[in-house]
Structure 1
Amino acid sequence: MKIATGILVVLLVLIGFSSMYIVSEGQTALLLQFGRIERTSDQPGLHFKLPLVQQVMRFDNRILTMDAQPERYFTSEKKSVNVDFYVKWRIDNNADYYRATGGDPLQAAQRLSPIVKNALRFEFNGRTLQELIAGGRKDITDKVREQTDAAARKNLGIRVVDVRIKRIDLPDEVSDSVYKRMQNERLQLANELRYTGEQMAEKIKADADRQGQILEANAERDAAKVRGEGDAQAAVIYAQAYAQDPEFFAFYRSMEAYRHAFSDGKGVLIVKPDDPFLKYFQSAGKR
């Protein structure tokens, strides 16, 4: 009797334990009965079920990463590029996720991958290589995330959190053509800048020459004006002096001529003794 009671107590304990289950933080759960979904358990904590009849399937509710293999796409000019990307996703609807994937994350990633790749292919096909090089990644990933998120929610019960392009590699033949084109563009830009600089230098030089000529002409004009005024004043002075004493004026002019003629002390003057040039020498001798 005691043995039967003990067995009964053990069975009751086992049944009691099998009627409870715990959902941890960061998890969600489905309650299945003969493969049919009975209830979802999104809140962490202790939950109850029918023992032996109902089973619990737990899912990771955290953000998961699908790191895809690099894929080759073609631009609008039919040039190929190798794209390396990854996707951040999480379960959005337990029931839809279980029906679509059986609760297997690997199968979910396998089904999500073509959805993302098709969206990327569509976006790359609509852009030129120059647009990709210039930095169109953000626009591409935003549109791909929107498209894949809508399709994944509907078909897989998955929410696409983010799509990121890690790198875009060009095949060797494309890289060579791109680098050559970039080199030619930079060379053309350098030539344009050099030509513009030379034009500006010529313009500055021409302006400087013109200003110099103007300044020189103004200086010569002013100098000529001053010389003219000085010559006029000198002529007036000479005229006044001559009017006051013609004999002294003649004497002064002769002295100036003697000073210029004999200034270096080495000159030789050959004239007749009675030459008018020696008039005042003769007068000095008589005196």
Structure 2
Amino acid sequence: MKNSLVIGLIVAVLLGLMGSVFVVREDQTAMVLNLGRVVRADLKPGLHFKIPVVESVRVFDRRFQVLDTAPARYFTAEQKDVSVDFFAIGYISDVRAFYRATGGEESVANSRLAPIITDSLRNQINSRTLQQLVSGDRSELIANQLKGINAAIKGLGMQITDLRIKQIDLPTDSQVITDVYERMRAQRKQEASKLRAEGEEQALTIRAQADRESTVIVADAERDAQKLRGEGDAEAARIYGQAGSKDPSFYAFYRSLEAYRGSMTDGNGVIVLDKNDPFLQYLRSDR
């Protein structure tokens, strides 16, 4: 009987010890609640004790957490519509405040944190042009937000350490895209007109150059032809002169035959001359 009682006491003590001891890992923090009221918070990693049954433990991940939201649409300083995709990195800095604000639920914390970050980002984007957002220093934009965001979420028991913009896009129905397309079309049209004008100018230049070259070629050909004709006439005159000096009577006869041929080529010509005209001397029967 005594042995059973001892064993029972030992088991009860062991169960009590097991229910009163808990371990907090290196990547965790914890708090102890007494009937739902926080009595100890921000417990460090290691071995801790609590009162069995009366006290309970809530453990939280103290590692950095990522809040990733869906892309949101904003207006720039010149009222250009843009879509911004971002994510935030933070951690639980005050377990007691976090539990009071969210009941220890991460989903509740995210639902309260997201609009605060979105509003802060909207204020920054509204004050910048599209050019500044795309090509500007984003680190400055982020730095300007972190201080304000952390001040706004102080009651949540959280701390945001970084905010990153993943992508800045133009929505498919954005007026910016329409303006860009219109500007591209205008530029292409202007370039096409410029190319056509340059082509026409080059064509005129080529035609003018061809006309000049053609004129020069024709002039050179006529000059060469005249030169050749002159040389031929001179050579013919020289030959005729040589022939006439060797046999004047034959030369006179030959020249008369040439004259007859030239005047009677078409067969329809009529020449009225005196029969004693020297031109007919070789046609008379007495010759």
TM-score, structure 1 normalization? 0.70
Aligned residues: 254
Q: 2:119 matched to which residue of 1?
A: 114
Say yes or no: does 1:50 pair with 2:48: yes
For the residues of structure 1 that align with 2:147 and 2:278, how far apart are their CA atoms?
A: 130
Return closer, same or farther for 1:177/1:82 CA change in 2, 3 Å cut-off.
closer
1:140-161 CA distance string (max 9 Å, x none): 4xx3354225642782333123
1:29 aligns with 28
Aligned position for 2:219: 217
- Write the deviation string for residues 78-131 of structure 1: whole angstroms up to 9, x where unpaired: xx222211102222x54279968866223332222222222222222xx5xxxx
CA distance in 2, matches of 1:186, 1:89: 42
Q: For structure 1, which segment, 110-119 or 240-249, has the greater mean C-alpha deviation from structure 2 after superposition? A: 110-119
Unaligned runs of 5+ in 2: 33-38, 151-158
Measured in 2, the distance between the counterparts of 1:57 and 1:214 equals: 98
The one-letter code of the counterpart of 1:246 is P
Report the residue type matching 1:95 in the other structure: S
Query: What per-residue deviation string (whole Å, max 9, x for no partner) do you get for residues 4-35 of structure 1?
Result: 3222222233344xx22457xxxx43344646
Larger C-alpha radius of gyration, 1 or 2?
2
Cα RMSD after superposing both structures: 3.6
For 1:157, what is the secondary structure of its paired residue?
Answer: strand
Q: Indicate how the Cα distance of structure 1 residues 185 and 177 shifts in structure 2: closer, same or farther if over 3 A, else same.
A: same
User: In the alignment, what sits opposite 1:43?
Assistant: none
Q: Verify: 1:89 aligned to 2:88, yes or no.
A: yes
SS in 2 for 1:216: helix
Q: Which letter maps to 1:159?
A: D
Conservation of the 8 A alpha-carbon contact between 1:119 and 1:144: no
Q: Any idea what SS the aligned residue of 1:269 has?
A: coil
Distance, in Å, in 2 between the alignment partners of 1:243 and 1:256 is 18
Q: Tell me, yes or no, if structure 1 residue 164 matches structure 2 residue 160.
A: no
Distance 2:62 2:245 in 1: 132
Deviations 1:224-265 (A, max 9, x none): 22222222222211211111111111111122223333444x
Partner of 1:44: none
Query: Are 2:262 and 1:251 aligned?
Result: no
Q: State the identity as a percent.
A: 27
AA of the residue aligned to 1:194: R
Residue identity matched to 2:48: L
Contact 1:29 1:59 in 2 (8 A): yes
What's the CA shift string for 1:153-175, capped at 9, x where partnerless?
78233312334213256766x88
The alpha carbon displacement at 1:182 in A equals 5.8
CA displacement, residues 13-66 of structure 1 (integer Å, 9 cap, x when unaligned): 3344xx22457xxxx433446464344xxxxxxx53413376421157464422
Stretches of structure 1 that go unaligned for 5 or more consecutive residues are 40-46
Partner of 1:42: none
Which residue in the other structure is 1:202 paired with?
204
Structure 2 distance, partners of 1:13, 1:226, is 132
Note the alpha carbon deviations across 1:173-199, whole angstroms, 9 max, x for none.
Answer: x88777666655554444444333333
SS in 1 for 2:276: coil
User: Using a 3 Å threshold, how does the CA distance of structure 1 residues 177 and 90 change in structure 2: closer, same or farther?
Assistant: closer
Question: 1:65, 1:87 within 8 Å by CA — same for their partners in 2?
Answer: yes
SS at match of 1:74: coil
Residues 32-181 of structure 1: pairs in structure 2 closer than 5 A: 32=31, 34=39, 36-39=41-44, 48-52=46-50, 55-58=58-61, 61=64, 63-75=66-78, 80-91=79-90, 94-95=92-93, 104-124=109-129, 132=131, 138-140=134-136, 143-149=137-143, 151-152=145-146, 155=150, 156-168=159-171
* Rounded Cα–Cα distance in structure 2 between residues aligned with 1:71 and 1:120: 7
The 1:215–1:203 alpha-carbon spacing in structure 2 relative to 1, beyond 3 Å, is same
Cα gap change, 1:180 to 1:171, in 2 (>3 Å): same
Letter in 2 for 1:30: T
Relative distance call for 1:232 and 1:211 in structure 2 (3 A) is same
| Distance change >3 Å, CA 87–CA 178, structure 1 → 2 | closer
